[in-house]
Amino acid sequence: LSQDELKKIAAYKAVEFVESGMVLGLGTGSTAKHAIDRIGELLQQGKLANIVGIPTSTITHEQALSLGIPLSDLDNHPVLDLAIDGADEVDPDMNLVKGRGGSLLREKMIEGCCKKFVVIVDESKLVDYVGGSGLAMPVEIVPFCWKFTAHKLQSLFAEAGCDAKLRISPQNGKPYVTDNGNFIIDLYFKKDIGDLKAAGDAILRLAGVVEHGMFIDMATTLIVAGELGVTVWIG
């Protein structure tokens, strides 16, 4: 099975948790896209009704709109029944790295207000520790003096051999700009950064930082699709 087929299997399994009348957080990324497509399909078939979607990005907003999923926002729905979203990494304690798609701020705001947060991944996302994939742990920062903030972030994790890189948009070679008008610094760790809560708090104490991509103690349910089948973990 391809990675995308595994993502689709995990996404469809998560949609089994969706009931008519729910207010849903709609995630961002290629795995969440499958879940949103499935919700749209079930609405079309009349198998789901009275769903309100709270999108975590403009791209998800557009996808949901095109599927006829009624949309709203946190101002009107400060408590959600369920959110479904992918992740870039999942550690053994169900802590996540998210944000390689650039939507971490709105994802964290919305997924922090849900009674149930279902994370959907293919097995390639499982890591021994956050940063263990050697891929980015994103931090959303204000554009003002971004080099200063990037250096502060790199210094915070010097012991972990941290490398901090400004995310560049592949479309135009300029700094990537989030839906919120901010920049992203991608942090790369060469070893385990240890206490995630302490690391996250230290990151947030930097004045130029808006939010980081570690979602600690937030996921309530994890669905992993692998070659041997689908596993559902209840946190």
Active-site residues, by number, are 107
- What tokens does 177 get? 């700009």
The H or E element that residue 96 is part of is strand 96-97
Which tokens belong to 105? 């701020």
Q: What's phi and psi for 25, nearest 5 deg?
A: -80, 125
Instruction: Assess 136 for contact with ligand DER (CB under 6 A).
Output: no
* By CB under 6 A, residue 107 contacts ligand DER: yes
* Residue entry with tokens 């993502």: 7
Token pair in block for residue 94: 């169900």
Nearest residue to 32 (alpha-carbon basis) of 2, 64, 1: 64
DSSP class of 214: E
Binding region for ligand DER (CB under 6 A) out of 18-26, 82-90, 161-169, 198-206? 82-90
Tell me which of 31, 63, 149, 182 binds ligand DER, using CB under 6 A.
Answer: 31
What is the distance of C-alpha 112 from the center of its chain? 11
DSSP, res 158? G
Q: Which helix (H) or strand (E) holds 229?
A: strand 229-234
How many amino acids of this chain bind ligand DER (CB under 6 A)?
Answer: 17
Task: Specify the stretch interacting with ligand DER by CB under 6 A; choose among 28-36, 72-80, 177-185, 219-227.
Answer: 28-36
- Answer for which of 40, 86, 131, 208 binds ligand DER (CB under 6 A) is 86
Q: Within 32-51, which residues bind ligand DER (CB under 6 A)?
A: 32
Q: Does 63 bind ligand DER (CB under 6 A)?
A: no
Draw the binding track, 162-181, toward ligand DER (x: CB under 6 A; -: no contact).
Answer: --------------------
CB of 88 to ligand DER, least distance (A): 4
Give the footprint of ligand DER on this chain (CB under 6 A).
27-32, 85-88, 98-101, 103-104, 107
